[in-house]
Amino acid sequence: MLDDLDKKIIVELEKDATRPYKMLSEILKVPHSTIFERVKRLKNLGIIKAIIPLIDTEKCGLSTTAWIRVNIGDFHSIDSIEKEICKIKNVLEVHEISGEWDILLKVKVKNNRELRDLEIEKIGKIQGIKDLASMIAVKTIKDDPRIVI
């Protein structure tokens, strides 16, 4: 589905998506219109879901990263529970997982108090959730959503 040029465009966009297509065309040595059409195609295919800035969450006051494990009572309600969780501010990732727990969340909050409130007041009140447990990052060495293609 992705050819070499598509991959090169994605790599360049992940480096800095604010650069104009003209600059990308010079870097990749292809016409400006080719870059424009390829990016448009990658968006239409859903390969590029959005072009957004990478934010330093700590500089924005969100210094606590945590993962919350969720157990549910009835597996038939997992879809509706996941949809409710996705609506909650500060929940960055929602994964249905195998093993002892059913869902794994990645969250970023201001501090431990805000994490507690998020767990008890928002996530814990969703109907069908049986149990929660969180793990807090004490130090973040790498936090980069870019992928290698």
Give me the CATH number covering residue 91.
Answer: 3.30.70.920
Burial class (CB in 10 A: 0-12, 13-18, 19+), 118: buried
Query: In this structure, are 70 and 129 located in the same domain?
Result: yes
Once rounded to an integer, what is the mean pLDDT over residues 136-148?
91
- Quote the pLDDT of residue 1: 83
> Has residue 22 been placed in a domain?
yes
> Has residue 27 been placed in a domain?
yes
List strands edge to edge, sheet with 103-109.
91-96, 103-109, 64-72, 129-136
For a pLDDT cut of 90, what percent of the chain falls above it? Answer: 91
Cα separation, 108 vs 131, in Å, equals 20
Query: In this structure, are 93 and 122 located in the same domain?
Result: yes
**Residue count of the chain:** 149
Question: What CATH number is attached to the domain comprising 19?
Answer: 1.10.10.10
Structural domain total, the chain: 2
Burial class (CB in 10 A: 0-12, 13-18, 19+), 72: buried
Residue 83, domain extent: 64-136
Once rounded to an integer, what is the mean pLDDT over residues 115-131?
96
Cα separation, 61 vs 25, in Å, equals 37
> Has residue 55 been placed in a domain?
no
State the pTM of this model. Answer: 0.87
Joined together, the tokens standing for residue 45 give 């295919």
- Quote the pLDDT of residue 82: 97
Cα separation, 45 vs 23, in Å, equals 24
Contacts of 82 (CB under 8 A, 6+ apart): 94, 96, 103
Once rounded to an integer, what is the mean pLDDT over residues 1-26?
95
Q: Does 75 have pLDDT greater than 90?
A: no
Query: In this structure, are 77 and 119 located in the same domain?
Result: yes
Cα separation, 92 vs 124, in Å, equals 17
> Has residue 58 been placed in a domain?
no
